[in-house]
Amino acid sequence: MYFDKDNIDIKTLNFRNLESTCHLSLSEGQYQLLDGGDTINQDYFSTVYKNAINIFEDLFWSSDFINLVHVVYTYNKPYKKTNMIKKFTTLSLEELFYFKEYRKVDDNDVLCDEFTYHCFVSNIKYKRLLKAISNQDFKGLIPNIKQDYNYPEIYIINNT
């Protein structure tokens, strides 16, 4: 599998259709909610967090140089800052090696903001970030990257 990481359009990527990809189940057959359907299954989230962190640590070294790509889709509401850098990295905006932002409104009036940060894995609070990604569909679970009508996607591309 190869794609040009410098000219990548994240919105057109479909990881299910790329060669050399695999689907990982982080939950080991568990379900997010307990039988009644209203109560969070803490065992499920503990398993997902542990598995996501283990996989991340197997794939990345702290010295790896990465692109941390944050795509935010906003439906029918104004964009609301997510504070991604402040919450999930040790960097300030001034310390970032590279930052790109653009806005696109598609045919369905969906606003898309993409932020790309070049940094080292050691600059990411990856355990907190992975938990936030796992929690994004469950309002009230913390940490979380989803805010009201913002729907985020996170891509971590290893440049090393």
pLDDT tens digits, 35-68:
777 888 899 999 999 999 999 999 999 999 998 8
Going by C-alpha positions, the residue among 124, 141, 119 that lies closest to residue 86 is 124
Please state the domain extents for the chain: 10-158
Looking at residue 105, its pLDDT comes to 65
- What is this structure's pTM? 0.81
Q: Pick left, alpha or beta for residue 131 (phi over 0 → left; psi -120 to 50 → alpha; otherwise beta).
A: alpha
Q: Determine contact, residues 154/68, Cβ cutoff 8 Å.
A: yes
% of the chain with per-residue pLDDT over 90 = 27
Looking at residue 79, its pLDDT comes to 66
What are the tens digits of pLDDT across the range 97-137?
665 666 666 666 677 778 888 899 999 999 999 999 998 88
| Identity of the residue numbered 127 | K
Average pLDDT, the chain: 80
Q: Which of 14-18, 103-107, 122-126, 138-142 has the highest mean pLDDT?
A: 122-126
